[in-house]
Amino acid sequence: MLHRSGANVPRVAVLCFFNELLEQLEGEGVLTVTYVLRSEIGRNPIYEFETNEGTVSVVHPGVGAPLAAGFVEEVAALKRDKESAADLTRRVTRIEDRLFAGSS
């Protein structure tokens, strides 16, 4: 992952699988492109969206788990507040453990 220096994206990111919706919201000025991921499949913009709670990133994760995982890792690498994949995995695992405790 080689990214230009100074690339910052908001700490919170939302994945949206509806590319046409993302393009429509960009055209309406609701979303603003703040960074563009590039790969062999082309451009994948990272948008910013302003909420009452603050700014969030919005990104299309691609189709399929391997591609989505790669894009999520790249977005995480750009975040203003860095969090390693291992830290995120531990946190998600703790949440899942609480959610599924006793569901057997």
Q: Is the pTM of this model over 0.85?
A: no
Please, which residues bridge with residue 46 across strands?
Answer: 35, 59
Average pLDDT, stretch 12-34? 90
pLDDT tens for 32-85 read 999 888 888 889 999 999 888 888 888 898 888 888 888 888 887 786 554 555
- Is position 41 within any domain? yes
**Span 7-26, mean pLDDT?**
86
Number of domains in the chain: 1
Mean pLDDT value of segment 9-23 = 86
Is 85 among the domain residues?
A: yes
Q: Is residue 7 assigned to a domain?
A: no
Q: Are 38 and 45 in contact (CB under 8 A)?
A: no
CA 103, CA 81: separation in Å to the nearest integer? 34
CA-based diameter of the chain, in Å?
47
DSSP 60: -
Range of the domain at 34: 13-100
Flag whether 4 is in a domain: no
* Beta partners for residue 36, in sequence order: 45
Length of the chain: 104
Contact 92, 100 (CB under 8 A): no
